[in-house]
Amino acid sequence: MKVGYLGPKGSYSYEAVQKYIGAEDNILEYDTITKVINALEEDKIETCVVPLENVIHGSVVDTLDCILEYKDIYIVNELIVDINHVLMAKTKDTRVARIYSHPQALAQCRKFLNEQYFNIEQVAVSSTSQAASLAAKESGTACICNMGCKDLYDLEILNSNIQDIKDNKTKFIVLSKNKNKEAKSKTSLVFSTMNEPGALYKILGLFSLSDINLTRIESRPAKTKLGEYMFFVDIDGDENEERIKKTFDMIKDFCSEFRILGSY
């Protein structure tokens, strides 16, 4: 099975895919989340592992937007990875003039950067491991990445555990064109409401009346016109449970679009 991830090697996505499959010869790296999911859509890979949500900085919008775009892709699993951001450079005595990292990592270390490197240029790149690769080649630069990059890119640690919240975690999801056929404990879906008063309220009320627990709800612009949104929802339970199927059938009456993203 070929599995795609956001590379290069050493990224947190690399750590997640290792946790998921482990086999080095079956994983393929891509330099953006969009390219990873597009490879799945084009059948170049069978599954992919992409970041969905971080404790500090919230959801990864590139992942959400790709899920909205591709209608035949399902969530089949999730992985939780501990995030320990480390500031590294080629040498410990590097005079840092520029810091590379992924936008999420820079945002998750905002307090540290403001206190320790307030006037230093911050450059966003496609992954933390790409940041490590750049810092390994350029003098006067540093990167924010994970500990795994130290040996991979021959870097020195300047400071560790620099994220604003120490118990920092990122949720990764596994995407596939085939639904999960194993035991499932949660379901993800996305919908947009009818343009009528109280539509979202009625939908949430139906979940409550059916005693279905919502563990996550988030909105994204529908990209149709201003003021229209898509709602991502996670619930406890399998989409094939009778009470959940009945609830979904009722909810559809208040939706202009409704799609089950998968049970896992």
What value does the mean pLDDT take over residues 216-236? 88
Q: Is 189 exposed, middle or buried (0-12, 13-18, 19+ CB in 10 A)?
A: buried
| pLDDT exceeds cutoff 90 at 47 | yes
pLDDT at 3 exceeding the cut of 80: yes
Domain ends where: 176, 209, 230?
Answer: 176
Alpha-carbon span 60 to 49, nearest angstrom: 13
Write down the pLDDT at residue 143: 98
Rounded average pLDDT over 198-218: 94
Chain segment 151-194, per-residue pLDDT in tens: 999 999 999 999 998 888 999 999 999 999 887 899 999 999 98
Q: Is the pLDDT of residue 31 over 90?
A: no
Co-location of 15 and 42 in the same domain: yes
Q: What per-residue string of b and e applies to 226-255 under the rule 16 or more CB within 10 Å gives b?
A: eeeebbbbbbebbbeeeebeebbeebeebb
For the chain, the maximum distance between any two Cα atoms, rounded to a whole number of angstroms, is 64
Residue range 117-145, pLDDT digits in tens: 999 999 999 889 999 999 999 999 999 99
- Say whether both 20 and 58 belong to one domain: yes
Secondary structure class of 246 (helix, strand, coil): helix
- Looking at residue 166, its pLDDT comes to 84
Residue 214 included in any domain: yes
d(CA 235, CA 217): 9
Q: With 90 as the cut, is the pLDDT of residue 87 above it? A: yes
Instruction: Provide the domain limits for residue 191.
Output: 186-263
Q: HSE of 47 in the Cβ direction (CA atoms, 13 Å)?
A: 21
Q: Which two tokens stand for residue 49?
A: 């592992």
Residue 262 pLDDT level (bands cut at 50, 70, 90):
very high
Answer whether residue 224 is part of any domain.
yes
Residues 75 and 106 in one domain: no
Q: Are residue 198 and residue 234 in the same domain, yes or no?
A: yes
Q: Give residue-wise pLDDT tens across range 10-30.
A: 888 999 999 898 777 789 999
pLDDT score for 245:
95
- Lowest average pLDDT, out of 16-30, 79-93, 229-243, goes to 16-30
**47, 66, 118, 169 from 91: Cα distances, Å:** 38, 39, 21, 28
Number of domains in the chain: 3
The reply to whether 213 and 149 lie within a common domain is: no
Q: 137 and 191, same structural domain?
A: no
Among 176, 202, 232, identify where a domain stops: 176
Co-location of 199 and 259 in the same domain = yes
Sign (positive or negative) of CA dihedral 36, 16, 165, 214? positive
Cα(116)–Cα(109) distance, integer angstroms: 11
Q: Are residues 36 and 95 in the same domain?
A: no
Would 181 be classed as within a structural domain? no
pTM of the model: 0.84
CATH of the domain at 118: 3.40.190.10
